[in-house]
């Protein structure tokens, strides 16, 4: 057997093994959290005195058509001790209109607005700061007015890590785009990219290394916000309220994740789903260099391992055939390389389908491998293509 064929086979095996060593424990941790959350039936209405107070801070960034339906969904939550601060992105007049229209029916709902002259600040961070300062609850949950609420148990499930007595101060929930609103030939890849990106920060969080959360479904103890002086450390950036801020307040012992399907919000962007999916990816791409490096280095290594396995297997087959010709002994190494590749790709397809089921995204088959191979190249192309737009993530551009 040719040494020139043994080396690439060994490289393919090493790359596949290294990827499995990183990915398998991560998926197991996420699956365990999902299973524990899904099996939890304790969250529900009980005596309000036994539950910490909670304030839901709703940023009304994109006016939803059925605002009353959204307020009804909030009011129907079975958590027994909560209030709502609704922060309008429009004007004081609109906030007053909402107050006049709904204050009587929803006495625990407070309507306010962002000061109109605040230009050199992140609108989202400013809205959340206004809401958190107005909050009365011991805990706050930040969300967006165009997120559809899946269940009356949403708030109870998000508060479950706190009410269970586990000593948690932060609960990372999930919101996902309404995938049916995505359009064009790349819609399957955008679902795939969202799923992989979300799985990466969930894997880090379940390993006690929180680097990111979802600001549209994020719960934390209110005092943590003031102890960290709010968003003051990232005041010059438009993004960062769901990753840079979390790295200030989260540690390995105070953070939980909530993956129960009844706690997963669905973002309703109507005809602008693709635009906002791209903007969200831009925001995360901008903040990534400012976050702890280890989880992202592991994710990057896994991405480039796809090409290592492919090229090493192809090289093993080519060198074995060229150097020794086609014979039964010569086919052993190419066959081993092919088996390694097929097992490797089969594992990745199975793991992706498992994660996508938890996140309600498309459970792909054959497209998983091409998408995984394209992802590091696509991410690099995305950064280069949007490099000229990075300035827009600084508040001085507002």
Instruction: Write down the pLDDT at residue 221.
Output: 97
Higher pLDDT pick, 6 / 247 = 247
**N-terminal to C-terminal alpha carbon distance within the chain:** 65
Same domain, 17 and 120: no
Confirm if 300 and 376 have CB atoms less than 8 A apart.
Answer: yes
Q: How is residue 166 annotated by DSSP? A: S
- Same domain (yes/no): 154, 97: yes
Model pLDDT, residue 200: 94
The answer to whether residues 202 and 131 belong to one domain is yes
Q: How many domains does the chain have?
A: 2
Give bridge partners of residue 219 from the DSSP assignment. 141, 171
Confidence bin at 397 (pLDDT 50/70/90): low
Q: Does 290 fall in a domain?
A: no
Phi, psi at 312, each rounded to 5° = -65, -40
Q: Which of 238, 272, 306 is the last residue of a domain?
A: 272
* 174-180 average pLDDT score: 93
Q: What is the tens place of the pLDDT at every residue in 34-85?
A: 998 887 665 555 555 578 999 999 998 766 667 888 999 999 999 999 999 9
pLDDT of residue 65: 64
Task: Determine, yes or no, domain membership for 313.
Answer: yes
pLDDT at 153 over 70: yes
Q: For residues 48 and 81, what is the distance between their CA atoms, to the nearest angstrom?
A: 5
In contact, 202 and 27? CB cutoff 8 Å: no
The rounded distance, in Å, linking the Cα atoms of 375 and 380 is: 8
Q: For residue 292, report the phi and psi dihedrals to the nearest 5 degrees.
A: -55, 140
pLDDT tens, 262-318?
999 999 988 888 999 999 999 999 999 999 999 899 999 999 999 999 999 888 888
Residues 40 and 7 in one domain: no
When the pLDDT of each residue in the chain is averaged and rounded to a whole number, the result is: 88
Q: Are residues 248 and 328 in the same domain?
A: no
Sorted by sequence, the CB contacts under 8 Å of residue 118 that are 6+ apart come out as 126
Percent of the chain with pLDDT over 90: 60
In order of 27, 94, 259, 338, the CA distances from 35 in angstroms are 12, 43, 8, 35
Residue 330, pLDDT score: 61
Task: Determine the structural domain holding residue 338 and report its residue range.
Answer: 3-26+295-383
In a domain, 388, yes or no: no
Same domain, 256 and 317: no
pLDDT on residue 50: 75
Identify whether 393 is part of a domain: no
- Residues 16-39 have pLDDT tens digits of 999 999 999 999 999 999 998 887
The DSSP H or E segment spanning 134 is: helix 123-134
Predicted local confidence at residue 96, as pLDDT:
80
Q: What is the pLDDT of residue 80?
A: 92
Within a domain: 286: no
Residues 21 and 42 in one domain: no
Higher pLDDT, 221 or 48: 221
Identify the residue with better confidence: 238 or 334: 238
Q: Torsions phi, psi of 219, nearest 5? A: -120, 135
Distance in angstroms (rounded) separating the CA atoms of residues 171 and 163? 11
Domain assignment present for residue 8? The answer is yes
Query: Do residues 245 and 350 share a domain?
Result: no
The CATH number covering residue 117 comes to 3.90.550.10
Mean per-residue pLDDT, 179-193: 91
Task: Encode pLDDT of 128-145 as tens digits.
Answer: 999 999 999 999 999 999
Is the domain of 22 the same as that of 131? no
Q: Is residue 31 in a domain?
A: no
| pLDDT at residue 57 in the model | 97
Clarify whether residues 122 and 165 are in a common domain: yes
As a whole number, mean pLDDT of residues 370-381 equals 93
Which pLDDT value is given to residue 9?
87
Establish if 256 belongs to a structural domain.
yes
Are residues 66 and 8 located together in one domain of the fold?
A: no
pLDDT of residue 228: 94
Find the Cα–Cα–Cα–Cα dihedral 361, 364, 370, 371, rounded to 10°. Answer: 0
Confidence of residue 170 (pLDDT cuts 50, 70, 90): very high
Residues 102 and 243 reside in one and the same domain: yes
- Please give the pLDDT value at position 117: 63
Whole-number pLDDT of residue 323: 66
**Between 180 and 141, the higher pLDDT residue:** 141
């Amino acid at each position: 057997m040719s040494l020139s064929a043994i080396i690439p086979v060994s490289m393919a095996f090493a790359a596949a093994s290294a990827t499995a060593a990183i990915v398998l424990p991560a998926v197991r941790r996420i699956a365990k959290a999902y299973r524990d959350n899904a099996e939890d039936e304790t969250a529900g209405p009980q005596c309000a005195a036994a539950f910490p107070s909670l304030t839901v801070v709703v940023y009304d960034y994109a006016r939803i058509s059925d605002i009353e339906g959204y307020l009804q969904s909030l009011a129907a939550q079975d958590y027994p001790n909560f209030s709502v601060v609704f922060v309008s992105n429009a004007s004081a007049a609109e906030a007053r209109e909402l107050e006049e229209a709904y204050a009587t029916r929803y006495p625990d709902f407070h309507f306010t607005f962002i000061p109109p002259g605040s230009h050199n600040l992140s609108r989202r961070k400013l809205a959340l700061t206004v809401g958190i300062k107005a909050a009365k609850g011991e805990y706050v949950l930040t969300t967006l007015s165009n997120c559809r609420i899946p269940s009356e148990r949403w708030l109870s499930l998000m508060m479950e890590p706190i009410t269970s007595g586990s000593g948690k101060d932060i609960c990372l929930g999930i919101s996902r785009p309404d995938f049916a609103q995505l359009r064009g030939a790349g819609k399957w890849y955008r679902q795939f990219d969202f799923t992989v990106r979300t799985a990466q920060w969930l894997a880090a969080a379940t390993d006690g290394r929180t680097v990111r959360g979802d600001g549209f479904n994020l719960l934390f103890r209110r005092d943590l916000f003031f102890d960290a002086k709010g968003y003051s450390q990232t005041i010059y950036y438009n993004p960062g309220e769901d990753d840079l801020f979390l790295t200030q307040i989260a540690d390995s012992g105070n953070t939980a994740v909530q993956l129960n399907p009844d706690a997963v919000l669905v973002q309703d962007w109507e005809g602008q789903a693709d635009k906002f999916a791209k903007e969200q990816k831009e925001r995360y791409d901008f903040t990534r260099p400012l976050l702890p490096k280890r989880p992202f280095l592991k994710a990057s290594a896994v991405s480039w391992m796809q090409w290592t396995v492919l090229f090493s297997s192809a090289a093993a087959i080519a060198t074995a055939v060229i150097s020794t010709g086609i014979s039964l002994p010569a086919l052993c190494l190419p066959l081993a390389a092919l088996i390694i590749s097929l097992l490797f790709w089969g594992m990745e397809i199975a793991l992706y389908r498992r994660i996508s089921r938890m996140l309600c995204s498309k459970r792909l088959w054959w497209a998983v491998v091409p998408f995984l191979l394209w992802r590091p190249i696509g991410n690099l192309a995305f950064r280069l293509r949007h490099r000229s737009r990075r300035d827009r993530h600084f508040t001085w551009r507002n």
